[in-house]
Structures are given as structure tokens and as C-alpha cells.
Amino acid sequence: MSKFQLQDEAFQSSGVSFAESQQALQLSPSIYERLGEEGLLELSTLFYDRVFRDDRETWFLNIFSSSTKQQAIDNQYRFLVQTFGGPELYKEKKGKYTRLAGRHANYNIGRRAADRWNQHMQDALQSHSILQKDSEARMALENYFQYTAHYIVAASDFMRPDQLSGGTKIDEGRIW
């Protein structure tokens, strides 16, 4: 499957186009400049506080069972800093490539998990101290995360074993 087919698949399931998702990467000032490292850490913390308190959908929390909450916050924080214009903190910890699809391919996740993930992220964005006042950045991030979660799901269907970077074994026993 080509990257354009994956982008179309992500658009069909997320309702956000690739171009719309990229607006968060093109804002001026950048997301990093608007939020700073403290603001991006706040976003990761707000998100994972919700994920790790999710007792209504225990199947969803089980997806994160290989990490502590602090590890999950740190990984996402580093990714956000690097992705949105800051220093390469994620690269320092995880290596040269972010490869989101590869890092998530060892989890058998689907649209239901992407939707639940997005619900927690949308709630975190809405309650973020800076983003409550910056609707342009908040809306750009909403589109970025909505699209990206569904892109990861679409791409995971087409990953080869040599493309996995989050592990070497796909968990075939669980479908989220």
C-alpha cells in the first residue's frame, strides 16, 4: 500500500485530511514556542492521567501495560517536543527515527482504540492551561492527533516484521 493510500485510509476513518493534520507542524509561532517544554509536559501528563484512570474501558488501559505512567509521559513528552519544533529529545532516547507506526505495530490496536485514545487527548487539550486560550493551536493539535492515531492503525495493517521498532513480536492475541 502506498503512503497516499494510507493517508486516504486515515482520512476516511478520522475525518481529517493529511494536509489538515500538518497544520500543527506549520504554525508560527510553533507549538513548541507557544507551549514550551513545560506546556508539552503538561499535555502529556493531562493525557496519561486520563489514560491511567480509565476504569470504564479496562481493555484500553491494558494497551499501556508495558509502561509505567511516568515512562509513558516521558516518551510522549519527548516526542511532542521534537515533533513540534524543540530539541531532539525523542531521538536522544529512542534513536534516529520516530516511526510511530513501527513503534505501535506490536500492539494489535484498531479504530476503537484510536477513538478512545483521541477522546482522552481531546479532553487533555481542552483542559490544558495554555491551549484553553489558544484556539488556533488547540484546533491544529486536535486535527494532528485525530489523523495520526488513525494513520497508525491503518499503517499497522501493512507493517512487515522488519519494520517493527517497538518490539519484535506482534501481539496477535488481543484486538483493541
pTM of the model: 0.83
Contact 14, 6 (CB under 8 A): no
C-alpha grid cell for residue 142?
A: 486536535
Cβ atoms within 10 Å, residue 126: 12
Residue 32 lies in a domain: yes
Residue 90 has pLDDT above 60, yes or no: no
Which tens digits make up the pLDDT trace of 97-151? 455 655 555 666 788 999 999 999 999 999 999 999 999 999 999 999 999 999 8
Q: Domain residues for 138?
A: 3-163
Measured CA to CA, the distance from residue 31 to residue 47 in angstroms comes to 17
> What is the rounded average pLDDT of the residues 8-12?
90
Quote the pLDDT of residue 94.
56
Output the domain CATH number for residue 69: 1.10.490.10
Contact 51, 61 (CB under 8 A): yes
Contact 176, 107 (CB under 8 A): yes
Residue 121 lies in a domain: yes
Which tens digits make up the pLDDT trace of 22-66? 999 999 999 999 999 999 999 999 999 999 999 898 888 888 888
